[in-house]
A and B are shown apart, each in its own frame.
Chain A
Amino acid sequence: MSIATMREIEFRDAVREAMSEEMRRDMRVMLMGEEVAQYNGAYKVSRGMLDEFGPRRVIDTPISESGFAGMAIGAAMMGLRPIVEFMSWSFSLVAADPILNNAPKMLYMSGGQFGCPIVFRGNDGAGGQLGSTHSWSVEGLFSNVPGIKMVIPSNPYDAKGLMKTAIRDDDPVFFLESERLLSMRGEVPEEEYLIPFGQARIARAGTDCTIVAFGRMVNIALEVGIELEKEGISCEVLDMRTIRPLDAGSIIRSVKRTGACVVVDQSWSFGSPGSEVAALVHRECFDDLDNYVHRVHSADVPAPYAHNLEQEYLPNARRIAEAVRSCLYRS
């Protein structure tokens, strides 16, 4: 792509552009959720979409996650391609039955007759001092379920390309945005592009240690990479982009080069994408590793409110740097 067509936009604009482009392209795509229409989105992701597409395709729902998630799944079984916004993924828990028991199982249970081409999207992760109930990182819980695809972009460019792929995908996609990233600016081309699922991006090339990171954590891992460079440690940062499918090949190839692996995953450690990556690397790169896979997760406690506690709760630059040094026996 030529540089002339690049412009800097916010993460939220990138998500909106993807949705709007796909809605122009395919009449079956529609958006529903709380405050998505008249209010222009609780986080302004859908700003202006009501004006362009009208109330039949950009639909305000009542605060009724179980009801409207289930309704959207029924519509998807019929052939529509709904995008369902959860104001926060924390609120999706009251819709656990439709999103976990219906959407990902419909194709299988019906012997291939009824699929569920639907995108669930919304804010995921702590960091805004919202307290325990509003600070969920659902990737640990939900990535356990076969039949879903899970996307976790770290920047505006990826957010747009992955969202377009998500909308065109024939399976249910859980698209995890971060409220902390919505105002992040980044270069996004004006031309159309799609980013395939299951292809990690090498966000930073390095030789000493592979840092496998998801979503917002990629940006913190990149900061750590710059800091550790000053200590003579060369980090390779993998932005996984999707959790399901997981690009195991990219992880394995990188770890075989570096011989060390740190996973940064903002969900809790017990039964998480981070633990899955560790199991994978231990199994596939056993003879290449000079140390066990180090993992940096949110602390194994409910998310706290106090700012200092919350910062310590989340994976942060200090904890990631300590893990890399420890993994390389440099601490």
Chain B
Amino acid sequence: MPTSASSNADGQVRPKSNRPEVPMATAKNWLREMMLIREFELRCMQAYQDKKIGGFCHVYIGQEAVAVGTIAATEARDPIVTAYRDHGHALARGMDPKHCMAEMYGRIGGCAKGKGGSMHMFDRDNNLFGGHGIVGAQIPLGVGLAFATKYEDEVINADKNGGKSNRVTLAFLGDGALNQGSVHEAMNLAGLFDLPVIIICENNGYSMGTSIVRGTTMGHQISVKSEAYGMEGVEIDGMDVIETYWAMKELVDKVRATSRPIFVDMRCYRFKGHSMSDPRKYRTREEEERYEQGDPIGVLKAHLELRGLTEDDHKEIQREVRATVKASMDWAENSPTPPTSDLYRDVYRERWGPYTGTSEPEMLGGAEIECKFNAIDTTIDRKADLL
């Protein structure tokens, strides 16, 4: 199977070593998660065509192994931040598909109460710090999350015995973001301050319609980009969830122990267009078919079949994820739209309301809207621990 974008043909992809076997139940769960993301995204495309979803919508089809394999290698307390192709990360991190779908439907039951949309998935309970729409902007944020976890360990909890959390941050970007200045500034800071962050470049070979070699120097081997920032650069086959998991597990353990940042060139392929409006005229159908043969879901399924997964098992998972996604759509459909009074909520944390230009600043008031994601308690002790 192909392991990298055609334009990366010269790239060195790590040879698969002799990894321990993943327990069947775990691997089966990964298959279920990847199939859930696939089904979720297919239904998103449909809902977008039906104008249930507005704005921009970028689906994750083809890259499921990346979110599932990398996030499986983390602990729930490890912070994660990503770009705008974020549904897969949200689901892999444990966001209820209902809240994810309702967000895209612009409903109050969405993870951000309908204020964020497809590109801005936030989930405080699952330590998902967004979904960010500006290309590359999330990498300085991710480096900041790592800065905060390290600060928590070394300053706030310095006196506490065994108080170190040693959390590892995953910060995802696409290969198109590699040429943003903020990404390089952030990599320099991560290297300079020894921050426990893994910067994962989901290298699907295209920044929108521009193939990597047309926009990026050393596009065939982007892992060298991190060298200048004192960061190890690692290439991983992101089309194989088992390989992704083991390679990432190694890196996560390493960063947890050393607090040194690492850069990952995660080789993958985006089966669909950049966004819903992309006719994909910049690449050939032959190229797409070649990658589709290495579909990460098919690869895992074939692996599990060797270990006894039956066609009935597979159908059962398919039925299950279809039902889950269908339920998420029904739930989203039935979730109320945000009340118009919500327009003015959450602009400021405390009493100053938005500026109306007519009188004294207004106090925020009104009843809290009940949903899974309540506003943060602002009465926390000033010396309290971090999130």
**Beta-carbon contact of A98 and B140 below 8 Å:** yes
Count of chain A to chain B residue pairs whose CB atoms are closer than 8 Å in the complex: 210
Q: A72 an interface residue at 8 Å Cβ cutoff?
A: yes
Q: B54 an interface residue at 8 Å Cβ cutoff?
A: no
Per-residue 0/1 for B149-166: is the Cβ within 8 Å of any A Cβ (1 yes, 0 no)?
A: 101101110000000000
**Beta-carbon contact of B137 and A198 below 8 Å:** no
Total interface residues on A, using CB and 8 Å?
62
Nearest residue in B to A30 (C-beta to C-beta)? B151
- Cα–Cα, bound, A197→B361 (Å): 11
- Note all chain B residues with C-beta closer than 8 A to A56: 151, 154-155
A131 → chain B closest CB, angstroms: 24
B52 → chain A closest CB, angstroms: 19
Task: From known contacts A30-B151, A70-B137, A74-B147, infer whether A109 and B189 are also in contact, taking CB-CB under 8 Å.
Answer: no
Per-residue 0/1 for B357-386: is the Cβ within 8 Å of any A Cβ (1 yes, 0 no)?
A: 111110000000000011110100011011
**B-facing residues in A224-245 (Cβ within 8 Å):** 244-245
Per-residue 0/1 for B339-352: is the Cβ within 8 Å of any A Cβ (1 yes, 0 no)?
A: 00000011111101
**Partner of A110 from B120, B148, B181, B383 at Cβ < 8 Å:** B120
Interface-side segment among B40-48, B122-130, B297-305: B122-130
**Beta-carbon contact of A115 and B349 below 8 Å:** yes
Q: A127 an interface residue at 8 Å Cβ cutoff?
A: no
Per-residue 0/1 for B76-89: is the Cβ within 8 Å of any A Cβ (1 yes, 0 no)?
A: 00010100000000
A240 → chain B closest CB, angstroms: 13
- Cα–Cα, bound, A241→B98 (Å): 46
Chain B: number of interface residues, binned into ranges: 35 or more
B259 → chain A closest CB, angstroms: 13
Task: From known contacts A171-B348, A245-B355, infer whether A66 and B386 are also in contact, taking CB-CB under 8 Å.
Answer: no
Q: A73 an interface residue at 8 Å Cβ cutoff?
A: yes
Task: From known contacts A27-B383, A77-B144, infer whether A109 and B130 are also in contact, taking CB-CB under 8 Å.
Answer: yes
Task: From known contacts A70-B144, A77-B144, A113-B122, infer whether A97 and B347 are also in contact, taking CB-CB under 8 Å.
Answer: no
- Note all chain B residues with C-beta closer than 8 A to A171: 348-350, 352
- Cα–Cα, bound, A56→B146 (Å): 14
**Beta-carbon contact of A67 and B182 below 8 Å:** yes
Task: From known contacts A64-B188, A75-B144, A246-B361, infer whether A97 and B383 are also in contact, taking CB-CB under 8 Å.
Answer: no
19 residue pairs from A and B, CB less than 8 Å apart:
A26-B383, A30-B155, A67-B184, A70-B182, A71-B143, A74-B146, A76-B144, A80-B148, A97-B134, A97-B182, A98-B141, A109-B115, A109-B120, A112-B374, A112-B375, A113-B124, A113-B376, A169-B350, A171-B350
**Residues of A that sit less than 8 Å from B by CB:** 25-28, 30, 56-57, 59, 61-62, 64, 66-80, 97-98, 101-102, 106-115, 117, 146-147, 149, 168-171, 197-198, 244-249, 252, 276, 279-280, 283-284
